[in-house]
Structures are given as structure tokens and as C-alpha cells.
Amino acid sequence: MPSSSPESIIDVALVGAGIHSATLGMLLRELDPRLSIRAFERLEDVALESSDAMNNAGTGHAANCELNYTPGKADGSVDPSKAFSINEQFETSLQFWTHLVSEGRLPSPASFMAPCPHMSFVRGGEDLAFLKARHGLLAAHHFFSGMEYSEDAGRIAGWAPLIMAGREGSERVAATWIGRGSDVDFGSLTRAFFTTLKDSGNFSLETGMEVRDLSRGSDGSWRLHTHRRASGERQELRARFVFLGAGGGALPLLLASRIPEAAGYGGFPVSGQWLVCSEPAIVARHEAKVYGKAALGAPPMSVPHLDTRVIGGKKSLLFGPYAGFSTRFLKEGSYWDLPGSIRPNNMFVMASAGLRNLGLTGYLIGQVLQSPADRLKALREYMPGARAEDWTLATAGQRVQIIKKDAERGGGKLEFGTEVVSSGDGSIAALLGASPGASTAVPAMIKLIEKCFGLRAKSPGWQARLHAIIPSYGQSLARDRELHTRVRSRSNEVLGLRD
């Protein structure tokens, strides 16, 4: 029997203490300081899963360098629409962080982000033509006006010496470079958010407490069935609104909620590994995030990249990710996560998506079987002079890709984006998927607020606050160049970014 009965009711329950719950908590706190908010985290501290610095790549995804956001079309042209959307979404995150730093509710930006140029790097004729076409489209727009393109080995070596040192002179290469990039420590940012929330009052955080199940009360509120992992103590709590910000743990809880909107959703976990170099002489020679093109058959988020990282003021280099397959939905999860998520209402969709993506499964198995020599070979494509002894292998976070019904073809499909799934009455919402991920947490959580807090979100009070914290709220930075310049100058000034 549960050790306590659910007598009091809280306004908002945040399940999971990663960047998304933290961001939602902060936004709601800005909109209405009276809301009672409680967060539940199954691990002993916040931000230990995907949001932890070394569990993700820390790229402030602005579509400066990620080639999968500008797919090539069959006729050889490039589709830039996703790049514009992601760039604008990242500017929204930057505006919110700028607001919080200016108001003293976030510490110095150096504690969670560092300016870092973003580069794309390709080899071979076809990819050169793609990169040139991409550059032509992007650099013509004010979002990417500082982007440079070069096929000159000396120029590229000036931007990133390690990727050119030891490379055959005859190899055709090209790169783009943009100064206004960033490396973000999302773990540090999440911890700072929770510190501010704890200081704000009307907020509590329970760590070591797992939400095991959910049920709906007759009054429409949600009952959270919790389990303290250390003692086994169980509790029931009532909440008017529940956010399932549990990362890979969100899908099982969404299915447990039995809301009709959840039917047919499944998940496909992709694990990852990095090679990490902390050798000061090597680290000092690289200052960029250099993204290449995904290998044939590889999922878009496993594009290899050689990254400068700044974590706790210490610089290192990271290369990867080497994708892999595990049935766990969380790094600290269980091998039963995937089989346990199969339900009568998603079985067909999952089987169909699996059959349609056999190539991906084969690719992931191939990645799992890689030897250290294979991994070094992949690294040397980006850094020909790399030596095995300077690099160590580290395990990255788990990403659970969304499987859902394919409305066009029937059956199921695998998606690589993020999606908020919510109940029709807006009383519960879950964030599924992992890309672009942490960088776009602010616009994702604003969208969730608009969807789930409908009338209140439209009220003059909340609208005024939203405009105060996100100056471009409700407007288009893509269309309004003057607004873009204003917003960006302010973010640069407060967050220390370079134009």
C-alpha cells in the first residue's frame, strides 16, 4: 500500500529533471510565480541523463554546420527550410537565457556556454557541389550572413589546423565557417535552472524518486504513483498538470497514461560513444565544431563531428558519435525498456517501422561491432594525424527516436525530430524524440504552454510576460531583419557570443 494518501494537489508536476523540465519550470515561474511546481527525478541528482555535458555534444544547434538540416533534393538543389526554422528556434532559446542572465536568475554565461565557430567539412566532388549550393542559399540570408566558404587547403587549415595536417594535397576538400557558434554545457544550465527554481519558492525537487505509473482521478486531476528507489517507499500525489520530461523514460509513462493521443507511439533507442582527447597540446590547436556528412545508411543524428568542448572551464576535444544499439531507453535504464514498451496499440506500428528500417538496424549493428582500429580510422578521416593513445572512449546518452503511425503509407515510420504529445484537455504532455534536442528546449516548451495552458497563455498578463522574456515572441526573425539585428546584438552582448 502507498505510504501516503494524495490529499493536497499541486499545479504542475515535472517528471524528470533534465533540460526540458527545467526549462518548462523556469518559463512557468516567469509567467506565474504563484504556481506550485514539483519535480521528480529517479536518479540522485538532476541532469545525469542526456542533458549531462558529456552525454551530448553540446552543440548550440543553429543549423550553422549540421548538413542534415539542409537535405539535398533529387534535382541536385538544397532545401534550406529546416535550417531557417532551427536557427530561429535557437535564437528563441538565446533570448530566454539572455533575459535570465540580465535579471540575475542565471549565473555568468561562461558557466554554461562558450563561443565556438561552427564549420561544415566535406570531401569529394559531389559533396563539394552540395556544400557550395548550401552556402549560396544560407549566406544570402541575414541569419547566416557571416558564413564563409572555401576550397582552399590553406584557408581551411587556418580555421581548423588539425583537420588539414597530414592530409594528401591532392584530396578535394571544402568547408564553411561561421564565427557565431556556441558550445553549450546543458548539464550546467539545467543545474542552474533548478537552483533558481528552488530559490523561487513554491517549488520542490524530489531526487531518487521514480514515477512508476499514472492514473486519472474522477475530478480530472492526475495521480502520480511514485517509488523512492533507495527505500522502496511508495507515494501517490495529485497534480492538475503533468509534464513527462523524462527523456527516454517519457514514452513508457505516456503509454501508461492511456490518453488516446498516445496510441500507436513507440520508441527506437540509439546509443552512442565518443572519443575524447584531453591532451592540452592537441586541444589547444582546435577551436571549432566541425560537422561532416553522415555515412550512407546512417541515421541523421550520427553525423560525425570533431568538437571543441568547454566543460567546467576545461577544454577538451570530442569526436563521434559512434552510434550503437541497446534496448535501454535511458543510459541508467533497463534492458527491458524496449520490449516492455510494446503494447497491443503500437505493436503493428513498431513492427512495420522495424521492417522498413532494416538498413538502419544493420548499420547500428555494424557500429556496435567496430574495433578500436575502425574507430581510429573514422577519426582519421577528420584528423589524419590522430594517434590512438591520445583518445579515450566514453559512453554518450541514449536517444529514443519516435516511432508513430505513417498517415500516408499506413503502418509505422521512424522519425528523428522531437514532438510534444498532449491530451486533448491539455492536462498532460510528453516530450518525445531527441533532435535538435536541448538547443530548442525553449521554443518547444513555449509551444507546450500554448497548447496545454490555452486560455491562460492567451491572457493579457501571460502574453505581456512572454513578450518581455522573448522580445521576438509572435514575430518572425526570418522576415524582420531589423528585429533580428536588435535581438542578436543583445544576446551577443549578454551571452558573450561572437558575430
Ligand X SMILES: Cc1cc2nc3c(=O)[nH]c(=O)nc-3n(C[C@H](O)[C@H](O)[C@H](O)COP(=O)(O)OP(=O)(O)OC[C@H]3O[C@@H](n4cnc5c(N)ncnc54)[C@H](O)[C@@H]3O)c2cc1C
Interacting residue ranges for ligand X, rule: CB under 6 A? 15-21, 40-43, 48-51, 55-59, 61, 186, 210-211, 245-247, 249, 253, 272, 321, 330, 396-397, 399, 431, 434, 436-439
Q: How far, CA to CA in Å, does 151 sit from each of 122, 128, 129, 131, 155?
A: 10, 8, 11, 10, 8
Residues 396/272, Cβ–Cβ less than 8 Å = yes
CB 226 within 8 A of CB 235: yes
- Can you tell me the distance from the alpha carbon of 65 to that of 171, in angstroms, rounded to the nearest whole number? 21
CB closer to ligand X out of 40 and 121: 40
Taking the least distance from each CB to ligand X, the nearer of 20 and 293 is 20
CA distance 64 to 298: 21
Give min distance, CB of 243 to ligand X, in A.
Answer: 10
Of 174, 110, 187, 109, give the one whose Cα is nearest residue 147: 174
Min dist CB 159 to ligand X, Å, is 20
**Cβ nearer to ligand X, comparing 253 with 495:** 253
**Shortest gap between Cβ of 264 and ligand X (angstroms)?**
21
Q: How far apart are the C-alpha atoms of 173 and 164, rounded to whole Å? A: 9
Least distance (Å) between residue 272 CB and ligand X: 4
Nearer Cβ to ligand X (15/122): 15
Angle at 123 between CA 140 and CA 57, to 5 degrees: 75
**Which of 412, 292, 296, 300 lies closest to 363, judged by CA?**
296
Nearer to ligand X, 190 or 352 (CB): 190
Choice between 17 and 164, CB closer to ligand X: 17
The residue among 63 and 487 lying less far from ligand X, judged by its C-beta, is 63
Q: Are 387 and 405 in contact (CB under 8 A)?
A: no
State how beta strands 203-207 and 209-216 pair: unpaired
Q: How far is the CB of 58 from ligand X (least distance, A)?
A: 5
Q: Are 412 and 350 in contact (CB under 8 A)?
A: yes
C-alpha to C-alpha distance for 26 and 106, rounded to whole angstroms: 11
Question: Between residues 105 and 331, which has the closer beta carbon with respect to ligand X?
Answer: 331
- With vertex at residue 268, the alpha carbon angle to CA 183 and CA 258, rounded to the nearest 5 degrees, is 110
Cβ 385 to ligand X shortest distance, Å? 25
Distance from C-alpha of 158 to C-alpha of 374, rounded to nearest angstrom: 28
* Closest CB 210 distance from ligand X, rounded Å: 4
Contact between residue 80 and residue 87 where contact means Cβ atoms under 8 Å apart? no
Minimum CB separation from ligand X for residue 305, in Å?
A: 9
* Amino acid letter for position 125: G
**CB 435, min distance to ligand X, A:** 6
Q: Which of 232, 228, 191, 194 is nearest to 211 (CA)?
A: 228
Minimum distance, C-beta of residue 232 to ligand X, in the bound complex (Å)? 15
Distance CA 484, CA 498 (A): 15
Instruction: Indicate the residue among 26 and 48 with the shorter CB distance to ligand X.
Output: 48
Contact 248, 319 (CB under 8 A): no
Grid look-up 515572441 returns 473
Please say which residue, 113 or 487, places its beta carbon nearer to ligand X.
113
